[in-house]
Structure 1
Amino acid sequence: MAEKKYLVEVEKAKEAAAGKPSTGPVYRSLFAKDGFPPSVPGLECCWDIFRMSVEKNPNNPMLGRREIVNDKAGKYVWKTYKQVYDMVVQVGNSIRSCGVEPGAKCGIYGANCAEWVMSMEACNAHGLYCVPLYDTLGADAVKFIICHSEISITFVEEKKITELLKTFPNSTQYMKTIVSFGKVASKEKEEIEKFGLAVYSWDEFLNLGRTNNMSSQ
């Protein structure tokens, strides 16, 4: 059976001419070969994609995590779109209550997880730049990203907090708040607060959002 193609060529490649460089062919999705479909009313940004998905399928499962039973991975426990949305609203409220305004940069440091997604969506809700922090080149790479992008708040996987501390004191010029996806060890909390930063566990941070209501975009 012939392989089905989902891309179509809509413009041929062009040779260099009249001082202009050559260009390759232009491809487009098969579903838009005759032009792009009209935009969806109300869909203007990344936040709208999530918001409209919640409105359309509030009770559908969205984010799942496997239960650990006797040190073994068990079945997935799911949160619905509406449940995730409610948590995202709380995270967004908490971010804003820390004095982080639209246009600020928010770092996210750690492996993919439900908290990663919710932190990103909270950034989308309040017009924040979401900056992934990669440590494949070590702590120096994380320090460079934080300082270069001027990150003011960072969400971090619990086991990565010690790596984040390695960026101190340089990163504290910009970074003022740290939120763990899990808990924060007392020793780490003490070290972070020594530099004048606020630090929260995930549950502590969610509690901030329950008492502070900030409007999204």
Structure 2
Amino acid sequence: MAMEYLVKVGEAEDSSSGRGEGKPSAGPVYRSIYAKDGLLELPSHLHSPWQFFSDSAAKYANNPMLGRRKIIDSKAGSYAWLTYNQVYDSALRIGSAMRSLGVNPGDRCGIYGSNSPQWITAMEACNSQAVTYVPLYDTLGANAVEFIINHAEVSIAFVQENKLPAVNLFLPAVALFISA
């Protein structure tokens, strides 16, 4: 018997914008079964995303956290895993490097690339220094990425290596590279 993890908490809304008869402007709203009556409260002892991650890294230090499938002869093979402790240590080192480059708490850092262990590690590096990370969505294209960088006043960015040609004209002064 499969367990359902989502529950519908709102119906689709009809379009009033003239986009077409009978087409919804927003689809139905779903939530986790654990938050069906509202979003969960943050435990009082947690004060930041970094503290949540740090506590998890201490508790599950040697457990697998982030995995990537090895590609062998163009076929997906087994996973190579990074442990919580490995990701934690990498995030601290990267966060320290960001600070040495003059990035301070409250500054904004872009992350541009496909979802990957490196993307999550960059996010946690930002969290480690109270730097706001700004996702630069891969699917939006270069014009949207440029707009987000300027609008959010991004001062540093992590950029996946194969995305660099698309953004090299409008990158902030410092770009760090994420290898895929």
Q: 1:86 aligns with which of 77, 89, 97?
A: 89
**Rg larger in structure:** 1
Change in 2 beyond 3 A, CA 1:41/1:55: farther
Q: 1:164 aligns with which of 163, 167, 176?
A: 167
Q: Which runs of 5+ in 1 are unaligned?
A: 10-27, 184-217
Please tell me the root mean square deviation across aligned C-alpha atoms, in Å.
Answer: 3.1
Provide the C-alpha distance between the structure 2 equivalents of 1:35 and 1:140, rounded to a whole number of angstroms: 36
Q: Over residues 158-214 of structure 1, what are the superposed CA-to-partner deviations in whole Å (9 max), with x where a residue is unaligned?
A: 11001112xx2xx35xx111111129xxxxxxxxxxxxxxxxxxxxxxxxxxxxxxx
Change in 2 beyond 3 A, CA 1:59/1:161: same
2:176 alignment counterpart: 179
Larger RCO (CA under 8 A, 6+ residues apart): 1
Provide the C-alpha distance between the structure 2 equivalents of 1:5 and 1:66, rounded to a whole number of angstroms: 26
Kindly tell me the number of residue pairs found equivalent between the two proteins: 159
Provide the C-alpha distance between the structure 1 equivalents of 2:94 and 2:86, rounded to a whole number of angstroms: 13
Percent identical pairs in the alignment equals 46
Aligned partner of residue 103 in structure 1, secondary structure: coil
Provide the C-alpha distance between the structure 1 equivalents of 2:50 and 2:178, rounded to a whole number of angstroms: 21
| 1:42/1:48 contact within 8 Å kept | no
Provide the C-alpha distance between the structure 2 equivalents of 1:95 and 1:128, rounded to a whole number of angstroms: 9
The answer to which structure has the higher helix fraction is: 1
Aligned partner of residue 175 in structure 2, secondary structure: strand
Q: Which letter maps to 1:182? A: S
Within a 5 Å distance, the mapping from 1:60-79 to structure 2 comes to 60-79=63-82
Change in 2 beyond 3 A, CA 1:128/1:70: same
The answer to whether residue 149 in structure 2 is matched with residue 146 in structure 1 is: yes
Change in 2 beyond 3 A, CA 1:31/1:159: closer
The answer to which structure has the higher strand fraction is: 2
| 1:104/1:151 contact within 8 Å kept | yes
Aligned partner of residue 180 in structure 1, secondary structure: strand
Provide the C-alpha distance between the structure 2 equivalents of 1:104 and 1:85, rounded to a whole number of angstroms: 21
Q: TM-score, normalised by structure 1?
A: 0.63
Q: Over residues 66-98 of structure 1, what are the superposed CA-to-partner deviations in whole Å (9 max), with x where a residue is unaligned?
A: 122233321101111111111111110111111
Q: TM-score, normalised by structure 2?
A: 0.75
Q: 1:129 aligns with which of 108, 129, 132?
A: 132
Provide the C-alpha distance between the structure 1 equivalents of 2:175 and 2:5, rounded to a whole number of angstroms: 46
| 1:88/1:119 contact within 8 Å kept | yes
Aligned partner of residue 151 in structure 1, secondary structure: coil
Provide the C-alpha distance between the structure 2 equivalents of 1:159 and 1:29, rounded to a whole number of angstroms: 35
